[in-house]
Amino acid sequence: MKFFKMHGIGNDFILFIPYSKEQSSFTRPLIRKLCHRHSGIGADGVILILPTRHKGNDFRMRIFNADGSEAEMCGNGIRCLGKLVYEHGLTSKKNLIIETLSGNISVKLIIKNNKVAKVSVTLPAPSSVRKISASKIKVTLGNPHCVVFINEDVSKFPVAKYGPLLERHRLFPQRTNVEFVRVKNKGAIDMRVWERGVGETLACGTGACAAVMAGIATSKLRTANVKVNLPGGILEISKLRNGKICLTGPAEMVFEGDITLAPLERPLTKQ
């Protein structure tokens, strides 16, 4: 079965375009094996590109974390999906509607020299933004997020110590992604992220959106357009007038190949 290894500013994924009968091969143990950095292909997650279930939509995305758990959405992953389906001839459209567990997501492909240079993703307004403490904000944006504002250099912050503690805190029964954020100025932030079911990653698209929305809600940010500096690169986040959020950034192909999938243990629940 053919696979594609891609990344969005360092947040990397293994993408498959399986037939429906092959979807049952993707067990949680298999996903963990595929994502393993030493004994597998290596990635932060696995993305299945599936036929849409609803007329008018273009593709359906299922996204699984490196530990085999399923996530609702992924801002970096959906950009990779958009680039893949366009550059491999699965669509000629530049504006796509992708089905996810968090609803239908609008994706706009920015084309340069017949290649996808950048991808803009429009996300719904957060379903909730709640202040937990003076420095911690809970944001639900498809995926759950806990945004922690710090005053020190994020590159030196002990993310590996506090990330897993907050991910599994009793405040978050479904676990949470955790963003550690330092405000540089009213239009830029530095951020590192601890992702639910993965660990620290080089970037998180929905996490960047959550951090910006939390910053606006607490008046730490006072502009509709914010640059989010992550270890893997920069994402551009804009709050639209209708309350929705636009996430813009690149997506890159790393390599592609073929792999034989052997069913392992219990198959994933079909969605």
Residue linked to tokens 């803009």: 120
Whole-Å CA distances, 122 to 2, 142, 162, 191, 268: 29, 12, 30, 21, 28
Whole-Å CA distances, 92 to 33, 48, 53, 79, 227: 34, 20, 20, 16, 30
Write out the two tokens for 86: 């366009």
Report d(CA 92, CA 77) in Å as an integer: 20
Write out the two tokens for 268: 């994933």
Q: Give the number of other CB atoms < 10 A from CB of residue 253.
A: 17
Report d(CA 43, CA 255) in Å as an integer: 12
Residues 6+ apart with CB under 8 A from 94: 86, 108, 109, 111
- Ranges of beta strands (E only) in 38-159 are 45-50, 59-65, 70-71, 95-100, 103-112, 115-123, 128-131, 136-141, 143-149
Residue type, 63: I
Q: Give the number of other CB atoms < 10 A from CB of residue 173.
A: 9
Residue linked to tokens 């037939």: 19
Task: Cite the active site residues.
Answer: 74, 204
